[in-house]
Structure 1
Amino acid sequence: MAAVPASAPGGTAPLRIVARVHAMPPQHNAGAEHMLVSMLRPLVDRGHDVQVWLSRYGQTSEPYEYRGVRVVPLEARLDFSAAVRRADVLLSHLECVPSTASLARGYGTPLVVVCHNTHRPTFRDMAAGGTALAVFNSLWMQAEAQMFFAEYPQSVRPGGTLVVRPPVFAEDYATRPGKAVTLINCNAEKGGRVLEALARRMPEQEFLAVRGAYGEQILPDLPNVEVVGHVDGADMRDRVYGRTKVLLMPSSYESWGRAGVEALASGIPVIAHPTPGLCESLGEAGIFVDRHDLDGYEAVLRKLLTPAEYRLAGKRAKARSAELDPAGDLQAWCTAVESLAR
């Protein structure tokens, strides 16, 4: 990865950056966690000391490194408060924001909150005050936050805001597409029942059902459906995208849709429900069908699987992938974090 310079500009001294989150890869692989890893890696490359401390018990009891980022399991160390006291910048997301915000206020440390959805608790937790920088994963999320905070006094709004689209390095995912129609995370809200229905309607077509990190999984027991276990993000290219011809994303909610952008890197077309996040992330490369329209999904799939249509959709996918190069977002991100400690 060479998205940002290897050293901080202007002679910035290395910072101690401490993140508090509930789980991390390789045990827990979801879009929020892989977005966080992709944002922390360039900070490590710039010479900063970055640590991620976990708040839930897991399968690992010793500190480990994941793609250059040091991770401290809850079972390994009990002195998180000491790490916070020494930190120059704190970072958190999702369920860990309230407790991390309390520590940030107590120690007077700048807090960065990474927002992955527009659910009310995401914004409400920041409204307690003390958030130095709020990071939104899309323009539409930023607009939603602005409407939310319009009713609050300036004193409780984030000190600054930034949009960082979930960074996907195309070279990490690009491969030759396979033959299967794939769904990643087969819970009901992500479209598990849509996959099952399509597999029954198209018995001649190979389907891939990839077990997700959360939610009750709907894993059809059908001869044309292969179930793939929970996959580490570092293995997605070989185990999933290299076997995928078309990606399904009939999600009821997606604030962005990282898996779709990962698929675009290989020219894999994505058929998706038109959530605001997926419309923004997939752009003109997206093929949008309402998640309740099974006839529509089947018709689009059959048309898309013809060679001429597939070639056109693949070209649009690769073009959109190139447009989403993360270098600019990550440069702005690193600069914003470094400015908090000045």
Structure 2
Amino acid sequence: MLDRAAAVIVVSQAERGRIAELYPQAAAQLTVVPPGVDGEVFRPRGGGAERPYVLFVGPAGRLKGLALALAALERISAKVPHRLVVVGGPSAVLAGGRRWPAVPAALRRRVDFLGPIADTSRLAGLYAGADALVLPSRYESFGLPALEAMACGTVVVCSDLPALAELLGPAGVRVRGDVPEAWAGALESVLTDPVRRKELEAKSLHRAAEFSWRRCAERTLQVLRRAAES
């Protein structure tokens, strides 16, 4: 099907490279059109949360790395007052036969599982109120939660994956591997240094401004026109 298509839209250069490697015959048809973010919804709200927290957005399971986020925060729980707020869809969890990872004893009263949140305004408020978004994914084709967090002026601490490196640019903190101590150090460096956090927040907003749904629509239209003319 790929080699018969006049054009194939992918969301990142990293994803394009991956697909081209698997289907080299379709490489010429692949065009990168990154998604956008609604800047009127996902934006800084001003003022911090009464109880500081780190945000995790995603389903349970090894792919998104919630257990790693818990292990990292456990290691710095005596140094920072932050809770971990988890936003995710239980329907996705149940469909895969998975459950949320066990919460370490040190975090027993400091983890909030909010379940799915369909209200984008409420979700944006959670992004904006967090001191950091933690995203220890083992694979991402783009990383929409990272973009939404950056648009809200929130620092992203994420896996050093090609797609996330492409998305974040100079913003955020990337961590290699799945060693909890490395993730703990990265989180601590953001949560305990307000000056550095402010610098990263400014970089995040600047980077997120490069991604809009208008730009996405314009690029998509260009691809469709070229495909129609071919």
Shorter chain as denominator, the TM-score bin is 0.7 to 0.9
For residues 75-132 of structure 1, the C-alpha deviation after alignment (integer angstroms, 9 at most, x for no partner) is: xxxxxxxxxxxxxxxxxxxxxxxxxxxxxxxxxxxxxxxxxxxxxxxxxxx34x5323
User: Does 1:285 pair with 2:154?
Assistant: no
1:191 aligns with 2:65: yes
Counterpart check, 1:322 vs 2:191: no
Give the match's secondary structure for 2:133. strand
Distance 1:148 1:313, change over 3 A: same
Q: Does 1:182 align with 2:55?
A: yes
Once the two structures are superposed, what CA deviation does each residue of 1:152-175 show, in whole Å capped at 9, x if it has no partner?
4xxxx4884321112212222113
- Asked if 2 retains the 8 angstrom alpha-carbon contact of 1:165 and 1:326, the reply is no
For residues 6-53 of structure 1, the C-alpha deviation after alignment (integer angstroms, 9 at most, x for no partner) is xxxxxxxxxxxxxxxxxxxxxxxxxxxxxxxxxxxxxxxxxxxxxxxx
RMSD over aligned Cα atoms? 2.5
Asked whether the 8 Å contact 1:188–1:217 carries over to 2, the reply is no
Give the drift of 1:200: 2.6
Q: Report the CA distance shift for 1:340/1:228 in structure 2 as closer, same or farther (over 3 A).
A: same
- CA-to-partner distance for each residue in 1:136-184, whole Å, 9 max, x for gaps? 111122233334443x4xxxx4884321112212222113364311111
2:35·2:216 contact (CA, 8 Å) conserved in 1?
A: no
Taking the aligned partners of 1:231 and 1:301, their CA distance within structure 2 comes to: 25
Q: Which position in structure 2 is the counterpart of 1:169? A: 38
Q: 1:335 to 1:197 in 2, by over 3 A?
A: same
The answer to whether the aligner puts 1:210 opposite 2:56 as a matched pair is no
Q: Partner of 1:256 in structure 2?
A: 142
Question: 2:85 is paired with a residue of what secondary structure?
Answer: strand
Contact 2:72 2:181 in 1 (8 A): no
How has the CA–CA distance of structure 1 residues 228 and 291 changed in structure 2, closer, same or farther, with 3 Å as cutoff? farther
- The one-letter amino acid paired with 2:163 is G
Matched, 1:138 2:12: yes
Give distance in 2, aligned partners of 1:311 and 1:197: 25
Match runs of 1:222-237 below 5 Å:
222-232=108-118, 234-235=120-121, 236-237=123-124
Listed one character per residue, the Cα deviations across residues 252-273 of structure 1 (whole Å, up to 9, x for unaligned) are: 1011101001000111011111
Which deviates further from its counterpart, 134-143 or 260-269?
134-143
Bigger radius of gyration, 1 or 2? 1
Distance 1:261 1:227 in 2: 22
Q: Kindly, what percent of the aligned residue pairs are identical?
A: 22
Contact 1:131 1:159 in 2 (8 A): no
